[in-house]
Structure 1
């Protein structure tokens, strides 16, 4: 209970029984008390506005290598972050100490930072009309704790790696396999009336086998990541597929420099979608550090390409009823028939651009890039036939993307394809182009969709790129 702005609870820093049932040390009610205390103290100091968020995360990570247990790690962290506004001056501070004295010190620190910070004409909390009220905060089914101990996690990781070794005797080594079970929860509020929070989980199984010996060695990896452990791929299937990928790369060679069509495997195609998000995010736009400045309403992709955002997808990895500022999120078309329909804006970046927030403080939510030309049978073999003769890329290296100019240059590995069939694996090459041309040159998107983080896309065929080899 709170009385006069102070806690009167004998168990202020002890685990809450109900929270412990969910694997946490602190309950939502406890976090609400922390946040309310921080906000009350900020107003008492004279803050114009304030926001606070209390959070806790915990989990288990186990790794094995060559049939032996390597690491067992348990993580548990907590934080209280406070943002204070004095007019249009902003200060922020955080603490992992939940005592009353620490909360007061943290709020004071944020207040003092704001006092000595220069005024920013667009700084401030979101407008009241943009805030998601409690009745507009749907349950998105994001919390599925995995009741797993280190011994069981190790058995799963060992089974995954063993399946990779059993696939073929040419699997000679391993960089290891791992199992991770993570969960967290938070509560956030600010003085413009927002209150909200929820629990979420993320679990994964992964492995990275090595094929071949000596100079002819190739590595690949695969994983499965889901909100619920029940939806993870079988560890044996993950191990076999990772092994098959590594085996397929044996005998890789260089190719001569040329221009040709390039097919991006679906996990890499998600990276192209990520590049689009970066270029149309508020920070890049108002700093004028994007090759897609003033692209709203303009044709960036071919007319058959759409990009949608669905923040309310059940169990989605990028699902959220509100963004990091408490602004409501809504499903929308970001790109319609190749034309840019919306940016990715927070309240701050929207004000800098003279626009309205899109509910993307903290990033995008469950994006999907699709083509109106895609047929149900357009699996990877069909996309290879569509490629004809060209390069199929399955791995990219380096960070060679210039978001100011759009210039794109990455180290790559994959397969040379002739007449729609894989001819041989290739390595030590570079693919180059400009993202504007690459986006405009998307000829096809496969039905072999893959969810990479908060992005879902099939393999993507770009009509022409430069390939630098030997």
Structure 2
């Protein structure tokens, strides 16, 4: 059976389940209800030392229901999708909702707010070709591992992986919405090791795409994992002091992620955002835009409509450095007296909340190498661990590793240090490189930040 035929069959089953949940909830006493049915399968293959290390195959259908009664809501989910289970879920959700606190901003979209689009249309977010076999995935993983091991100095490859997943989503609601779409992911990764004992260092490379034909060759991924690992040999702590820091494009999206968290309607409505009073004010340097575009074809975060049935659209979050708006679902929009930005996302057992899809930061005029040369003395961050972020004040502290720069050149690899600053000041000092990679949910180049604190030796 072809993949398109299978997808159509799966979509029909999921739509029946989602609509049955809504019907059962209404009969059980819900004022309003929406439901999700999600079906999917995944295969993941790990290899090590030229042989299969681990194989994982999963396939399931799960369902979730949200009911609303007089400003109260409750969410339930199950992996059993029998008629009896659907009836029990509806009764349980209604009973739970009647005990929940009242929030008058809760409620489904009005019918005239709903999108006319009920599928993914031309977004191409699901590979329509046959699923790769486990044997093919194993071959890809073995090729990545072999490429990493060809580099002199790589003592072993901790693991090499190739995986594929296909997921079908259907949403239905008592306001008349019913729609769904599929999503696929192909991925290859490798983790390489150099040295032994206390001198051991490791690093990785990995790529994921919606379509298999858009993936790099596994040899590229294995070689990059090896290059990154070998560059980490001889890591040591950097000096302590105030220095410029270059966030490599591997981690720079995390910095923009803190800005996105601060403009999320849920944080703003709670008064728990360090940007809550910054609408229309500068939050990035002049000339820098931060856009969101959920309609980019073949991109991993693209979606035709949000979790409340509203049509997604491209928009500016920041334009010419000035904050343009919050990221809102229906409830947070009502709390703030605004309109939803069609940004709702939800899980099977959770209510909608605002999130972003495909963000793009304006690239700079300079290469990463030029920014390093201009740094003089400072730190390049390529990986981070742990975090202490104060959402109300923007105070920022994270563990980091990367490379120390002296006289505009990389001097040695760095580990075990802490970097700190205040996000508002950090973001206003950004200088962007021109090296952003495509195919990411956050297309963000390397970012230079002036005058942060480094705690090392």
TM-score (norm 1): 0.91
Question: Once the 2 structures are TM-superposed, how far is the Cα of residue 451 of structure 1 from its aligned partner?
Answer: 4.8
Partner of 1:446: 433
Q: Give the corresponding residue for 1:343.
A: 326
Assess, with a 3 A threshold, how the Cα gap between structure 1 residues 297 and 127 changes in structure 2: closer, same or farther. farther
| Equivalent residue, structure 1, for 2:352 | none
| 2:400 pairs with one of 382, 398, 412 | 412
Could you say which residue in structure 2 is the equivalent of 1:261? 244
Structure 2 distance, partners of 1:136, 1:100, is 26
Equivalent pair of 1:263/1:462 in contact (CA under 8 Å)? yes
Unpaired runs of 5+ in structure 1?
1-16
Given that residues 119 and 180 in structure 2 are in contact (C-alpha distance below 8 angstroms), is that contact kept between their aligned partners in structure 1? no
Question: 1:128: Cα distance to partner?
Answer: 3.3
Aligned residue in 1 for 2:372: 384
Deviation at 1:114, TM superposition (A): 1.6
Distance 2:74 2:95 in 1: 7
Within 2, Cα distance between the matches of 1:216 and 1:263? 25
Match of 1:398 among 386, 395, 406: 386
Deviation at 1:326, TM superposition (A): 1.2
Change in Cα spacing, 1:276 to 1:452, as seen in structure 2 (3 Å) is farther
Deviates more, 1:217-226 or 1:346-355: 346-355
2:119/2:179 contact within 8 Å kept: no
Shift of 1:18: 7.1
Mark the CA change 1:449 to 1:278 in structure 2 (over 3 Å): closer, same or farther: same
The match for 1:203 among 186, 189, 207 is 186
**CA separation of 1:215/1:115 partners in 2, compared to 1, >3 Å: closer, same or farther?**
closer
Contact 1:267 1:451 in 2 (8 A): no
Asked if 1:161 corresponds to 2:145, the answer is yes
Q: 1:239 to 1:19 in 2, by over 3 A?
A: closer
Q: Shift in Å at residue 420 of structure 1? A: 2.4
Give the aligned partner of residue 428 of structure 1: 416
Query: Using a 3 Å threshold, how does the CA distance of structure 1 residues 404 and 66 change in structure 2: closer, same or farther?
Result: farther
What SS does the corresponding residue of 1:101 show, helix, strand or coil? helix
Matched position secondary structure for 1:27: helix
Q: Aligned partners of 1:310 and 1:207: how far apart in 2? A: 30
Structure 2: state its 5+ residue gaps. 346-354
Return the alpha-carbon distance in structure 1 between the equivalents of residues 278 and 343 of structure 2: 18
Q: Would the alpha carbon gap of residues 210 and 334 (structure 1) be closer, same or farther in structure 2, given more than 3 Å must change?
A: same
| 1:272 pairs with one of 255, 262, 272 | 255
Corresponding position of 1:152 = 136
Partners of 2:418 and 2:99 in 1: CA distance:
49
Partner of 1:227: 210
Matches within 5 A, 1:36-435: 36-134=19-117, 138-144=121-127, 147-168=131-152, 170-362=153-345, 363-371=355-363, 374-375=364-365, 378-435=366-423
Instruction: Report if the CA contact (8 A) 1:19-1:27 is conserved.
Output: no
Contact 2:33 2:173 in 1 (8 A): yes
Distance change (3 Å), C-alpha of 1:77 and 1:453: farther
2:442 is matched with which residue? 455
Cα distance per residue 1:225-249 (max 9 Å; x no partner): 0001111111111111110111111
SS in 1 for 2:344: coil
**Cα distance between partner residues in 2 of 1:166 and 1:460:** 32
Assess, with a 3 A threshold, how the Cα gap between structure 1 residues 301 and 152 changes in structure 2: closer, same or farther: same
Detail structure 1 runs of 4+ shifted over 6 Å in the superposition: 17-20
For the 8 Å contact 1:125–1:192, the answer to whether it is kept is yes
Give the Cα separation in 1 of the matches to 2:86 and 2:102.
Answer: 25
Distance (Å, rounded) in 1 between the aligned partners of 2:273 and 2:395: 11
Please say if residues 81 and 93 of structure 1, whose CA atoms lie closer than 8 Å, have aligned partners that are also in contact: yes
TM-score, normalised to structure 2's length? 0.93
Structure 1 position 294, deviation (Å): 2.2
